[in-house]
Amino acid sequence: MTLADLGWQPALELAFTPHAAAGLEPARVVCELRRNFYAVHTAGGEVLGECGGGFFHLAKKADQFPAVGDWVGVRRREGEARADIHVVLPRRTKFSRRASGSEEIEQIVAANIDTVFLVSGLDQNFNPKRIQRFLVAAKESGAEAVVVLNKSDVCTDAEAVRREIEVLVPGVPVWITSTATRKGLKALAATYAQPGRTLAFIGSSGVGKSSLINSLVRDPEAMPTAEVREKDSKGRHTTTRRELVQTPTGALVIDTPGMRELQLWGIEDGVESAFADIAELAAKCRFGNCGHGNEPGCAVRSALAGGGLTSERFASYQKLKTEKLASVPARRKPSALASKPGWKTKSEGKTPFRHRQHVEE
């Protein structure tokens, strides 16, 4: 594959100019191998890329390290099929989640994606609220979001389910597919698998992401697959690492490990974008800080009463809004002291009057 095949564009060429002057060459991360080691594709082919000591000195946070789909600047090691990664170019889009554990750490699932497919199986593991949750993260990523309802061969009312999901995610394309019967696969590929475009498949384990990718690349063994448990349709993590592959049409596809739980990260804009209809209604409320409870002139409550907004969709919106506030890192939250009577934060332009003690934001 050439750099153009991998999605290299004039804008990237311009951004890379200072790094080229420093003797680096561009490459795209195509696979995460292990900690700080990546398969990267340069103009001369694929090599093993490593984040060395110099990179560690510059990268202060986990999200500054490479992810699959990233464009990086590398310097090859003479006489070796290895290269040192020195810089990660600014990301056009990125799909992130909160890493597991107690610390507030962003984990980038994939970068520089054009279209992210939110895959859900039409079996016992089907969960509409999970689709909405993934959609919020997809909207925050900046990529085009598409919902794929897979395994239609085990569902007797797939079209009815599609209509239900279209109500939950207005404005988002919803596709019905089956890798068993090949329903919808040809049309899906023709619509989205265009040369140089990067696609990512996101979803829970067992929904058929790898099988969908295998159908796009026309290789039944390109990505490992496994049967799901019969009792609940849950699958095993057959995909254990993120990897970028090319389809015969020239599109680039990223497979990701299944997520049993998606802990949202940085969803300030994602919630409003995924629930744009509710945000538009809220802008018409009489009060700017309307809580959509018993306040007079609430456009949201009026829409609920009139049937223009379903209670299920509004409940999902409220839940994710609450989670959005809870996910704000502690350093950005007002001080606990500021919530006590008589205290004001600096942002309000007043000095606290209780003992004149300094209160941090």
- As a residue count, the chain comes to 361
Domain 275-325, what architecture?
Orthogonal Bundle (1.10)
Which pLDDT score is estimated for 136?
A: 85
Q: Is the dihedral of CA 246, 13, 38, 136 positive or negative?
A: negative
CB 111 within 8 A of CB 69: yes
Distances (CA, A) of 306 to 279, 293, 302: 17, 16, 6
CB 278 within 8 A of CB 132: no
pLDDT tens column, 203-213: 887 888 888 98
Tokens of 143: 């990529």
Tokens of 327: 């996910």
Which pLDDT score is estimated for 165?
A: 92
Query: How do the domains of the chain map onto residue ranges?
Result: 10-88, 94-255, 275-325, 329-361
Which pLDDT score is estimated for 37?
A: 92
Cα angle, residue 252 at apex, residues 1 and 172 outer, rounded to 5°: 160
Cβ neighbourhood burial of 103 (10 Å; 0-12, 13-18, 19+): exposed
Cα angle, residue 217 at apex, residues 83 and 220 outer, rounded to 5°: 110
What CA–CA distance (Å, rounded) separates 361 from 328? 14
CATH class for domain 94-255? alpha beta
Which pLDDT score is estimated for 99?
A: 66
- Note the pTM of the prediction, 2 decimals: 0.73
Which pLDDT score is estimated for 25?
A: 96
Which pLDDT score is estimated for 31?
A: 93
CATH class for domain 10-88? mainly beta
What CA–CA distance (Å, rounded) separates 354 from 262? 43
Neighbours of 14 (CB within 10 A): 8
pLDDT tens column, 261-313: 555 555 556 677 788 888 889 999 999 888 898 889 999 999 999 988 888 88
- Which residues lie across from 200 on neighbouring strands? 116, 254
Cβ neighbors of 267 (< 8 A, separation 6 or more) are: 136, 137, 140, 320, 323, 324, 327
| Segments in the chain below pLDDT 50 | 222-226, 228-240, 330-361
Which pLDDT score is estimated for 87?
A: 92
